[in-house]
Amino acid sequence: MASRGTTTQRCSKCRLQLSVSPINRVRCPLGRVREIISELASPSSWVSNEAGGLGWPATYPREHGKKRAVLCGVSYIGKSYELKGTVNDVNCMKYLLTSRFNFPEACILVLTDVEPDPYRIPTKANMEAAMRWLVHNCQPEDSLVFHFSGHGSQRVADPYSEEKDGLDETLCPLDYETNGMILDNEINEILVRPIPPRAKLHAIIDSCHSGTVLDLPYLCRINRTGRCEWEDHTPLYKHKGTKGGLAICISGCDDNQTSADTSALSGSITTGAMTYSLILALDSNPGITYGCLLYTMRSVIHGADISSKARLADPIGSFVRRVLKFGLRQVPQLSSSERFDIYRKPFLL
């Protein structure tokens, strides 16, 4: 229902019916995505990297400090699978990084559907450019963070037989229906392999089917007694690790599970269950270890009654209604480029 003083207007590009306020007129997000895609074909607003090829847009952060981050929140505005909490997730992560872990705000690149800069809309091309910006000229002692809140999927058959379940995990950019998803192989190649010795990357992925979405060599399995065992996911004929640095992924759920977009945890504001539980655990326990962090996140999610208030972060999936009927089972996961003692190693960015 439109509020007083608003009118409705149909977008000439995508035919989506929009409510338009005379105070705050908005452009159709779907029509704007098509404009952005055509703009990206022009190299005039892109800067060159050291190799002389196209790098990233000139409007990206000028500073490239020792601590830097890329935060992506995809809402899919106007779609039947629209998410409500992804922008909140990005804002909360940005506050956490700047206030708790001393990341300079000037070194944080944010991509969301509502950004005014067309190169900061989370299309596939923009997300890949942002990931390359993050790892560009990575040096020892650099600390990088990549955060994604949005849809993920597990619909692409693995053509190289690298996956134990035979499926590639994916992230869904805003334009994935037309330009495709971002495969775990591609994420590994862009984000993981360039990390040099003594540098570290933390990927925080709040999406469905995200357990091994960075294709890291080792996945941490924790049983009910708290015992940790590292599963070896290293493919036989391909390197999936770093150049010597440390890459760690904390994901919202296992590869065969779904993640929730819900207001049940905060009580009023919609967030990703994984992002909320991560921030709550870090804020409550300075110096927390990875093992304690994972345990706390799982406890927060399992202790909440979110089955009636959750929207699954999976745009496809025939079992969505069945999961909501019987309650959500979302277990955050930890994967890494190397094995370590999760109960001794503190979480540091």
Do residues 90 and 112 lie in contact, with contact meaning Cβ atoms separated by under 8 Å? Answer: yes
Dist. CA 299–CA 30, nearest whole Å? 38
The CA–CA distances, whole Å, from 49 to 54, 135, 137 equal 6, 12, 10
Cα torsion 20, 25, 26, 27: sign: positive
CA dihedral 207, 134, 297, 270 (to 10 degrees): -50
- Residue in 153, 143, 256, 253 with CA at minimum distance from that of residue 206: 253
The structure tokens listed for 88 are: 């909140």
Is 172 annotated in the active site?
no
CB within 8 Å of 320: residues ≥ 6 apart: 258, 312, 314
- Which of 208, 220, 249, 253 is the catalytic position? 208
First vs last C-alpha separation in the chain = 44
Catalytic residue among 151, 202, 209, 253: 151
Q: Which residues pair with 110 in a beta bridge?
A: 71
Please indicate whether residue 239 is annotated as part of the active site.
Answer: no
Residue 286's contacts (CB-CB under 8 Å, 6 or more residues apart) are: none
Q: Which two tokens stand for residue 70?
A: 């890329």
The answer to whether the beta carbons of residues 339 and 230 sit under 8 Å apart is yes
With residue 54 as reference, give the H or E element that holds it.
strand 54-57
Element (H, E) at 57: strand 54-57
Biggest CA–CA distance in the chain, Å, is 63
Residue 20: enclosing H or E segment and its boundaries? strand 17-20
Please identify every residue annotated as catalytic.
151, 208
